[in-house]
Structure 1
Amino acid sequence: MATGGWMNTDILSDEVFDVLCKICKNKDKNTEGVKFCVDCQDYFCKKCVQVHSQVPVCAGHKVLDKSLVTSRISKGLLRAPAERCDRHSHKHIDMYCQNHDNVGCSTCMAVDHRSCQDICYIPEFIQNNTYQSASTEIQTKLKEISKTLAEQVTNFKQDKQRLLKRKAKLLAHIRKFRQEINGQLDKMEKNSIDEIEDKVKHLEDKIEDNLKKLKDNMARVTLANDKLASPNTNQAEVFVHVKIGEDAANVANICIEDNKRKSTGDDIQFQPEKAILTLLEQYKSLGTLPKTPGTLFQIKGKQSICVTDTPQEVATDFINPCCLKDGTIILALRYKNKLKRFHSNNYTITDYPLPGAPLQVCSINAIQVAVTLPS
């Protein structure tokens, strides 16, 4: 007994389409594809192409009408490449410049190859020209290059390790040298301190000796004064005390006068040896790095200038040409007693007479040169 139910009529449809929608096909639906995505390399129906465009990842994909794709296929054309341009990510690499043997997007061709004559659409170029794929050859070449690059990476890593080890040794050498300098400075400091200590000890001994003499005289004067101040009826003993007091006073006066001629405290001065500091200031570092043998100069730029109809004298008699910042070239003619100024902007030559044969010529600023002449 038949019962009611649902049946997918798309599957049972007898209609045959040239191309099917990718999304509908995955859902077992037989729907005609009307749009083609170059990036996905798939067809989509009207409904599904809207879903496809709303997906963030697919937002920038290049979508074409089926008619454009089928017409190209009917003509035997290949599908356009899906590779995107590195410079213009919204564009596909579908153009080929035969003049430079370079591929790029339409924007690249418009910007970098505007003067080129042989620019082709890649599928059309491959279709119209006998082209043999060099994929295997390029893969082999790329593998060889990749191997070489890997070897160079390894070499540079090893160089870096050696450099770091060498750096550690050099730093240790610098620190050792600094310690030697510190040791020598410590010795110089100790010698200076010992010299001051000896000087102070000598002056301190002198002061102590003077103090002792003063204290002895003070004691004798005080004793003599006390004896004279005490009541005594013996005139002979008083006479003795007077003479002893006079002697104590005389000796004390001699000590006082002697101390007046002496400094009560010799000042010690220290004069730094500034020549040491001046010598150190002459050096910016503790040593120098020797120049690496075989080091080449690095060329920052070069320019080729084609000069036609140049006088023969310019080609044979000039010495040390000098180039100014504006591109002007100054030629010193050894036996012609003159300079020649070559204007690179209009390819003209101007003569400047000299009072003698030039020996050397060099630029001194952006627009002037100096010329050495014989005395």
Structure 2
Amino acid sequence: MATSGLLNTDILSDEIFDESQARAPAKRCDRHSHKPIDMYCQTHDKVGCSTCMADDHRSCQNTFYIPEFIRNNIYQSVSRKIQTELNKITKTLAEQASKFKQDKQRLLERKAELLADIRRFRQEINDQLDKLEKNSVNEIEDKVKCLESKIDDGLKQIEALEARVTTASNKIAFPNPYQPDVFVNMKMADDAANVANKYMKDTKIKSTVEELDFKHDRTILTQLEQIIALGSLTEDPTKMASSLFRIRGDKSYCVKVKSDTEDCYISSACCLEDGPIILADHNNKKLKQIRGYNYTVTDYYDLPERPWQVCSISKTDVALTLPLQNEVHFISGEEKMKRTNKIKTDFECYGLAYTNNNLYISDASTSVYVYTLSGTKLQHFSETQSGQKLFSNIHSIAVSKDGTRIYVADFYNGLIVLDNNGQVITTSNGKQFCGAKCCYITKAGSVLVSTYGSSVLQFTPDGELIGEVIKADSEGRSESLSVCCNQQMSRMFVCSIDDNIGVYGI
């Protein structure tokens, strides 16, 4: 039933009404264009033609011919009330429009400030590059000056030897009649020749110009290539954690290397702070490192068994699980990837996460354990307080930076969120969440979950669904196995069952 009630008789006044005004309305009915709108249903507060009333309001008791209704019901106060409402709404709209204009002006002013700040930062970079250039130029100038001095010293010695040899040669060219003098001059000429030959032999004079070269520090360009912007635009973290990622294009890149004997099966991926993305290739028993805008494999490490989940434990180091060996391996990626340590568990370890110097390790189905980096077991989560099992088929786990939230991607139960005491905060176990494969925490704290149906879902830190980042009905994609993202580069990486990874702009 309509709620406005602006023509209801209980709000009408007793003001005197001029009956000459009560003429039949001239406006035609939209549904029955040959008839005027001359009827009013007070029960539903609707107007219409006689046919409308017969069709839609035949059971209503309070239907009136509008001219008669007006004659019997004074409506001027209603008109004034409507006008008052319109005036109020007009004022509200004007105030809101003014706020929008003010917000736009502040936005443009803030834009100018941000652009000016970017230009200042760019100048700082330019100043630093100028300094690097000056240092390199000074190094070349100093080196050239040193070599030039050596060359000048060599020239002086050569000139002195040339003068001595020339003098000796002149003295024996025109023999003196006194034989003793001829003999002496010949001996002195021989000594001059020997000194010159010895100098040439000892110094082994050769040009150093061709050997002088400048080796560029290519790491500068490599690092710049990995950065998509001079910085990142930040917002309120609480808003960012609940803001759905929007896909802005995608492209696939091959991560297969020559020594791979099977199709790639990237069971897990993580992004390191210093730039590279680390991939756990389950089929080929490898840990792969990709870098740059072409996302090429720049290094890989052969593992003794098939890996499952990998996670970062520092800017350059990662840890990964080897289920068949009941082990967690620690890999350093500072130069060439190499193993630095390992710990042994008494179960097949699959899921893996790290925070606050603790490892969170899951088995394949029922439990999540907390370990120290040295391998000491601290906690064990598998049941609720009432004795019910928490998990059934664990594929992946993640932990918030402060350790207050544990996220479990359970294939049959969806996303399960626990607190640090193992108490369930929320469970997303509807049909839409079934087949959860991987969970990953973004920099802002929201959680990405890849599913068997090839969708990628985004959740708030408390496990409430924000929406689908990638829809399950997208064409041409294989089953999603793992997902991670680098928000500094505005990129999300989705790994499937093939030799390519999908890189999505976000």
TM-score, normalization by structure 2 = 0.38
| The structure with more radius of gyration | 1
Larger fraction in helix = 1
TM-score, normalization by structure 1 = 0.50
Larger fraction in strand = 2
Higher relative contact order (CA 8 A, sep 6+): 2
